[in-house]
Structure 1
Amino acid sequence: MTSPFSPSHAADQSPMRFWGRGYDVPVNVPDWASLDTEINQRLRVGKGFSVATINLDHLVKLRADARFRTAYAAQDIVVADGNPIVWLSRLAGRRVALIPGSDAIVPIARMAAAQGKTLALIGSTDRALAGAKQYFEANIPGARVVATIAPPMGFDPTGASADTVLAALHDAQADVAFLALGAPKQELFAAYGRDKLPSVGFVSIGAGLDFFAGTQVRAPKWVRAIAMEWLWRAALQPARMVPRYAKCGLILPSETVNAIRLKLGGGPK
């Protein structure tokens, strides 16, 4: 497997890094053009990949979950998902583009379709997957969704239930699998599946498929444009999102220090 710290395009020799106790995560694909190049190259030669979209919530989880740290270290491609990641990167002198997982779905699906590759949708609910499948095949020329799998409650991303899903992907001859399992399950499953099915691309996308099916409503474009999607989500799901964002806020000071140290040529303290 290609090292997660050095994609084949070698776009950024000094990537933005996020440090915490026991981990060091780089944003190793800095912009949309690099993502396009990296994935198209891999699709062209039948080489699998795993894509993770790092955000503050992931940084919180990385501090507490050793399995998540191991899974993140196995990701081939890490992009910046969330404006705080982009802002911290700028503070560190490493400019990266905002690449939310939800926004990456259609571009990656188009890349796959253009090369005659097939798609699989994993996670969420049967209703959401059916709606997303219908959207893809109606709006992306050449898109073929060959598997839709909504794992049951208690799905183990590295156990027997994961093997069942991977066997279904193999039987369906899926080339790219979008994983809407939520963190850390989707990253754990991507790392596990990457070894079992080395020619498949695994893309972790959170709630992205639900937006296509209409089972969840994403913030309007103008809300996203002013970097307030987090507030929109908090208003819609306060019990779930407010505690999450509070934890994210608590790590901002240390990550700001990390960014400044990186700009000054230092490392983790």
Structure 2
Amino acid sequence: MSLKIAFVGVGNMASAIIGGLRASGYNGESIVGSSINIDDHEAIEQRFGITMYVDNKDAVAQADVVFLCVKPNMLQSVVEDFASVVRDDQLFVSVAAGIELGALAEWLVKPVAVVRSMPNTPALVGSGMSGLIANDKTTESQKEWVAQAFDSFGSHVWVNEEDQMHTVTALSGSAPAYFFRVLEVMIEAGKAQGLDDATCRKLATYAMKGAAEMVTQLDDDIAQLRRNITSPNGTTQAALETLEAQGIEPLFTAAIEACAKRSKELGEEFANK
């Protein structure tokens, strides 16, 4: 079955999803979008071969699946504006951080299937990771379709409790920024040792990329992969002992806890508006 897909808001994340869908075989005629930024419409249409609308109602009314890709603080007013054209058989997928399923269901008015997602920015280069949770109106076939859609630009995990989405944010949604910061520090440290910026950037980033590839492609325990390159009294051991002495474990644990805590606070702020 070929579903009609609409995107309300077509920014970076929507573009990543559309690009993934198109690469996985969806034709442009199956996808529409809506955005108030009229000046961007022509470029989006030419890039993806889709049709763009100014009025969200025009896009939503013809869709089987609707991706909600607007900023969280705008989502309620946007949804309430097109709620009059919502159908019982539609599936809505939100990428707005912090907006809970209950709020989405209330704004949509009708008892429709809703999936809340937390993708991350590597989706822009086809390496995204997304956390997903569905309401009880969402069928198994709809969940399967959503999973395939998110896998078209990376991978996904499902969680069963909505509170777990805060941990998803901490471990995945915000995590690329942690790794960018680590790379910044490594690059500066390499430059201090006499290498130029471009060489340091390439060495550090490919090491990080390669390590991630090993974890995702090999069945080995992560601790074992670490031990495999840690010779007794060698260079790697010296570096790791320094990281441990400086408190890498409590540091990252505190950072992840702080991220999850702030995610929960933001969710409560949106819920109380």
TM-score for both structures, normalised by structure 1: 0.32
Query: Which structure dedicates a bigger proportion of its chain to helix?
Result: 2
Larger radius of gyration: 2
Question: Which protein, 1 or 2, shows the higher relative CO under an 8 Å CA cutoff with sep ≥ 6?
Answer: 1
TM-score for both structures, normalised by structure 2: 0.31
